[in-house]
Structure 1
Amino acid sequence: MTLSPQTLPQHFLARVAQYGDGKVALRQKEYGIWREFTWQESYTQVRDFALGLLALGFQRGDHVATIGDNDRQYLWGYLGILSLGGVQVGLFTDANASEAAYIIDHSDSRFVLAQDQEQCDKLLEIRARIPQVERVIYWDERGLWNYDDPWLISYAEVQALGRGLLAKESQRFEVEIAAGRGEEMALLCYTSGTTGLPKGAIISQSNLAQSAQIFAQVDPRFDTDNHISLLPLGWIAEHVLGVAPHVIYGLVINFPEAPETVRENVREIAPQSILYNSRLWDALVGSVQVRMNEANWLNRQLYRWFLPVGYGMADCKLEGQTPGPGLRVAYRLGDLLVFQPLRDKLGFTRLRAAYTSGAALSPDAVRFFHGLGVNLKQIYGSTEVTGGATVHRQGDIKFASVGKPAPGIPIRISAEGEIQIGGPTVFHGYYKNPEATASALLEDESGHWFCTGDAGYIDDDGHLIYLDRVKDMLTLANGERFSPQFIEGRLKFSPYIRDVMAVGGEERAFVTALVIIDFDNVSNWAERRAIAYTTFTDLSQREPVIELVREAVEGVNGSLPPAGRVRRFVLMHKEFDADEAEMTRSRKLRRGFLYERYGEIIEAMYDGREKIHVAAQVRYQDGREGVIETDVKVVSL
């Protein structure tokens, strides 16, 4: 009797047996050419790497930190680690030395799988801080040929060791996979740490498989589907929407040539589904708007004529109404002349569903993409619930909501207004952090619950309405409450605004905002108008730029309740930077740190000043530090 697979590697072996050399498992673009690899070829690669780890002394339950851009060696190494009952610890590629040292050390990783010379140099720099790491395995050998350090070993060398073990124990790989159980730890996925050090969420094999299978009940996945692997494996989303469906349903994974070519490669593959975080969707809105502003006269006019038609069709669909014959005819014409060419440019011609997750995406952005014919849905969840806990259903999308609970995922609201999530995808606690685990997990007669720390409510139609973090909901001096994230999301709909932090509080009479311009879009706008500038700082304080952003803020204010309207703002002299601890690697604001760092600017917005002199210390990517000095203007509305 054949047992049902419990682990991702067991699903992987089932797909290899099903497809063998007869179907493409993955593609990777190299030197301008898409290279294809069958399931049998993937099997050989995973097997040799896994057996090589055993030859190096790997034991069941060992932890392996991984860092690098998504590509085939990363995937094969990942599956090899899990095949042996190992635990993958994903780091963001741009993690600095201190961040990498903390996670590798805290996770007790015995091995590190690293991409290239850049990552190896980072690891060599922190070697004394990660004494438990026995070997660093690198898969891109360029620049590393002259490194003579036994601590470093190439991916190819590990696979050669694996082939040696295979000759002695031909069934060892299958035996190791068969020993896997659903309750085994699969990942240590470190949270973004907006309020302190990152915490390692323990995710089991069963968590991963169940999350992928639950999600497929809402939006089925097929072995003819193409998935673009672009989200970092330090974030839970790629595990659940990429790797797990790959081995469970047989969809094809496609790896872009480089981070800089992602949009081009997405267009070439035209996947059936895609998930971008809210920042990428906001960037796409800006890209489309700028592209159309720079188009020839005819295309600009077509866009201006038909975008309201697209909005009208989107509103009918999203409100459950039947569009009239005139609107249907106008939309078909607009789709032919405007929307379909735009979707083609974005690589969305075959999309069945597009998703957004992470920070809240503004209703304006959701409506914009539905107007273009992109079936954009909101997912709400977190690492601690193995990805998404809610998702919009086909034909039941509300701008203000993050969807209904996924099948089999109970959600409730506590007496304090906190969202709590139960079900089979809830994580197993934080690694080596019993205090945080005790505060995050709640056991009662109704089950096992994760306390999200998010404020929200469930409406009459069963949709979850996310408001903000409980601790971030602010009360003004007059007692009115507002959500900073909601205001920030609306403002970021402007193609000229990259980041915003809304400010308020019980001692504040009104809302203010720290605004970061989108340098690419604003600089293009300035150049077309012959506005001279030298640096980001200089451009941000130019009067025409201030007026440009003022118009955007005033436009958003018109759609906000009085308590949430921005009364004063500043255009910041620099961008918020993860390297300076101002944001997380997933680009969530570290509000407490920002309040402290920019406290004087915030006070200037409330005490009536028209400008403030700032001298801010900045840290560059190469480690150098410098100081920016300028006068920042305070804008009143």
Structure 2
Amino acid sequence: MPTTFPQLMLKHAAERPLAPALREKIYGIWQTTTWSDLSRLVASVACGLHQAGLQRGEHVIVVGSNRPRLYATMLAAQSLGAIPVPLYQDAAAAECVFPITNAEVHFAVVEDQEQVDKMLEVREQCPQLSHIIYDNPRGLRKYKEDGLASLEDLIAAGAAFGQQHPQLFAKEVQAAVSADVAAMFFTSGTTGNPKGVVHTHGSLIDRAEAGAEFDQLTHDEDVLAYMPPAWIGQNIFSYAQWLVCGYVVNCPESAATVTIDLKEIGPTYYFAPPRVFEGMLTSVMIRMEDAGSLKRKLFHAFMGVAKKVGPALMDGQSVGLLDRLVYGLGNWVIYGPLRNNMGFSRVRVAYTAGEAIGPDLFIFFRSIGVNIKQLYGSTETAVFVCLQPDNQARADTVGVPCKGVEIKVAANGEILVKSPGLLKGYYKNQKATDEVLTADGWYHTSDAGFIDSHGHLKIIDRVKDVGRIQGGVNDGAMFAPKYVENKLKFFPHIKEVVAYGDQREKVCVMLNIDFDAVGNWAERRNLPYAGYTDLAQKPEVYQLIQECVEKVNADLAQDSLLAGSQVARFLILHKELDADDGELTRTNKVRRGFIADKYKPLVDGLYEGKTEQYIETVVKFEDGRSGSVSAILKISDAKTFTPVKAAA
């Protein structure tokens, strides 16, 4: 029985040699790699790396988009007992220094010239980085750096070496066992240096199998791999489960073609964070606003039917004959074409995770026949902790514990997890490991939540972020910043939010508008604007956002536990929060403490009762240059509501 990823690959190659394993779109044409092709490619890369000096137990960083030859490189490294460490392809060069140094990396396999340039830039700080191997040679013809080589040349050398030593590859693959380290994933580092999360073949394969069993996945699935491979979510769906199930992973041509490629592939199994689904819905609503009046009326009429009938049909509940017939007509006229236009015509299971998803967004997709569900997990748990059964998908929970998982809630509300998918530890950081793993095998998630009466897990916020209002009318009330931020981000006009209130007398927020959605809204009202900063400070836009904030406040007032978290004041930032400026992590989580320091004048202005505040901010452009953006920002008050008392 295969117990490692390379062994799983060889099993598929032996049983289904001509079946497609990977597809990659090149110059508009999908190219297929069969399992037999893949096994030969992996063997050649492994022999090439062995010949170049890669040793068992060494780390190999892999940087790039989802590319078949980079997947093959990860398998090749694992075949030799080495450990692939995927890094984010959009990370700045300086962000690569700590992982390379921490993991003592000698070998880097990267996608293209952009990533080569980063590796060369950090080489002075990382002198041990002796080999830089690139996949795409474009722009690199005149580079003459020591240790720089093409993956094509390495493959050719490896193939020749493999012919001379025909037993080497098979012998190395069979030498590995389930308990060997399979990969290391660096956390996003919201509060300091990232931590290297060490996973074994056993932990990753076990969770991949648990998820596959839960949703009855087979080798017939089609998956689109478009999120960063350095994110464990993408790695589980398009690497671990791919090798467990043997389905087809499709790699888009580029980030710009993902939408088109999604429609062409029509995946059966799909995963995306809420912001991707939000973008899809925003795009649909923008197009409908621009459509003719008859088309708009038809759309809204049938969507009314969909919201009433669709979720019940998805959950297997009984629906009246007339409703079923009208829904069937709507499916022919509206829902089917809409699913097809979004690339969801074949989707059987669609998961979202990472952040809470808005109920309206959740209901919309389930209403039109997309089986969207939520899951809960993290890098340290190999993703699959809780999953939603097909007939129990709800916007306010993250599902039930899946196979092999135990959950308990600590006295402070923290979720503790016991699972075969837990990390082996943090690399070279025993102190951090001891802080999250108990002696009897429980993992501290740092998330606050509870198990509801249906056995589903509900997440409120990060334990460290749950605070208290101090002073004012809400003195002592619970403050859950992420909960407030997510409720505001459920509105299509709001893209990002940062909330403050712990140990303060009221809650204040800074936010980003969604430039596309608000821009379209402004254009329909003949409201001129000259870029993001100008649009964000329009009085009409402030009024639009104020209505969103006050709707959230009215909703919070209904919750006796969180009524004190209502937003008293807000401002719209003059620039979008950006990972390159240190304001977001590479997984797009807000770095609340960093932002508070960087925008201290704005936070002070919110709490000092000012109506406007000048700010000047240094920004980093895509080409690496720095500049500054300045503006006088308006600060507005929002109406708050009297909490609704719970019934006695």
Question: Quick check: 242-251 or 24-33, which moved more?
Answer: 242-251
Per-residue deviation at 1:284?
A: 1.9
**TM-score w.r.t. length of structure 2:** 0.94
Would you say the 8 A contact 1:290–1:495 is kept in 2?
A: no
Q: Helix, strand or coil for the counterpart of 1:334?
A: helix
User: Is 1:494 the equivalent of 2:491?
Assistant: yes
Distance in 2, matches of 1:154 and 1:346, equals 37
**2:145: which partner in 1?**
149
Would you say the 8 A contact 1:92–1:585 is kept in 2?
A: yes
Aligned AA (1:6): T
Per-residue deviation at 1:51?
A: 0.4
Q: Helix, strand or coil for the counterpart of 1:570?
A: strand
Distance in 1, matches of 2:637 and 2:304, equals 31
Would you say the 8 A contact 1:63–1:87 is kept in 2?
A: yes
Which of 55, 73, 85 aligns to 1:77? It is 73
Q: Helix, strand or coil for the counterpart of 2:285?
A: helix
User: Is 1:174 the equivalent of 2:175?
Assistant: no
Aligned AA (1:222): T
Which of 500, 505, 508 aligns to 1:503? It is 500
User: Is 1:589 the equivalent of 2:590?
Assistant: yes
Spell out the pairing of 1:466-477 with structure 2 (5 A cutoff): 466-477=459-470
**1:574: which partner in 2?**
575
User: Is 1:404 the equivalent of 2:400?
Assistant: yes
Per-residue deviation at 1:42?
A: 1.1
Per-residue deviation at 1:556?
A: 3.0
Per-residue deviation at 1:318?
A: 7.7
**1:64: which partner in 2?**
60
Q: Helix, strand or coil for the counterpart of 1:387?
A: coil
**2:369: which partner in 1?**
373
Would you say the 8 A contact 1:107–1:188 is kept in 2?
A: no
Would you say the 8 A contact 2:4–2:177 is kept in 1?
A: yes
Distance in 1, matches of 2:188 and 2:609, equals 36
Question: Deviations along 1:581-627, whole A, 9 cap, x unmatched?
Answer: 11100000111111222222122223222111112222223332222
Aligned AA (2:462): R
Would you say the 8 A contact 1:317–1:395 is kept in 2?
A: no
Per-residue deviation at 1:238?
A: 2.0
**2:127: which partner in 1?**
131
Aligned AA (1:226): D
Per-residue deviation at 1:317?
A: 5.5
Question: Deviations along 1:30-63, whole A, 9 cap, x unmatched?
Answer: 1111111211111111111110001101111111
Spell out the pairing of 1:84-99 with structure 2 (5 A cutoff): 84-99=80-95
Which of 2, 9, 22 aligns to 1:12? It is 9
Distance 1:335-1:566 versus aligned 2 partners, 3 A rule: farther
Question: Deviations along 1:449-508, whole A, 9 cap, x unmatched?
Answer: 110111011112111111110011132232221322222222222222111112212322
RMSD: 1.6
Would you say the 8 A contact 2:613–2:633 is kept in 1?
A: yes
**2:643: which partner in 1?**
none
Distance 1:330-1:560 versus aligned 2 partners, 3 A rule: farther
Per-residue deviation at 1:301?
A: 1.1
Distance 1:381-1:60 versus aligned 2 partners, 3 A rule: same
Distance in 2, matches of 1:483 and 1:286, equals 27
Would you say the 8 A contact 1:63–1:109 is kept in 2?
A: yes
Identity %: 37
**1:186: which partner in 2?**
182
Aligned AA (1:471): K
Question: Deviations along 1:426-466, whole A, 9 cap, x unmatched?
Answer: 0011001111011011123xxx1110111011112111111
Aligned AA (2:455): G
Distance in 2, matches of 1:327 and 1:512, equals 45
Q: Helix, strand or coil for the counterpart of 1:388?
A: coil
Aligned AA (1:9): P
Per-residue deviation at 1:315?
A: 5.1
**TM-score w.r.t. length of structure 1:** 0.96
Distance in 1, matches of 2:298 and 2:553, equals 28
Would you say the 8 A contact 2:42–2:73 is kept in 1?
A: yes
Distance in 2, matches of 1:619 and 1:33, equals 35
Question: Quick check: 569-578 or 524-533, which moved more?
Answer: 524-533
Distance in 1, matches of 2:309 and 2:478, equals 34
Per-residue deviation at 1:320?
A: 7.6
**1:394: which partner in 2?**
390
Distance 1:407-1:502 versus aligned 2 partners, 3 A rule: same
Would you say the 8 A contact 1:50–1:173 is kept in 2?
A: yes
Structure 2: 5+ residue stretches without partners: 558-562, 639-648
Distance 1:564-1:368 versus aligned 2 partners, 3 A rule: farther
Distance in 1, matches of 2:270 and 2:24, equals 17
Per-residue deviation at 1:321?
A: 5.0
Question: Quick check: 451-460 or 551-560, which moved more?
Answer: 551-560
User: Is 1:198 the equivalent of 2:194?
Assistant: yes
Aligned AA (1:7): T
Distance in 1, matches of 2:176 and 2:489, equals 45
**2:457: which partner in 1?**
464
**1:101: which partner in 2?**
97
Would you say the 8 A contact 1:15–1:248 is kept in 2?
A: no
Distance in 2, matches of 1:208 and 1:576, equals 33
Distance in 1, matches of 2:107 and 2:85, equals 10
Would you say the 8 A contact 2:269–2:348 is kept in 1?
A: yes
Spell out the pairing of 1:179-578 with structure 2 (5 A cutoff): 179-314=175-310, 316=312, 322-444=318-440, 448-477=441-470, 478-509=475-506, 511-561=507-557, 562-578=563-579
Structure 1: 5+ residue stretches without partners: none
Per-residue deviation at 1:319?
A: 7.9
**1:608: which partner in 2?**
609
Per-residue deviation at 1:245?
A: 2.3
Distance in 2, matches of 1:15 and 1:34, equals 21
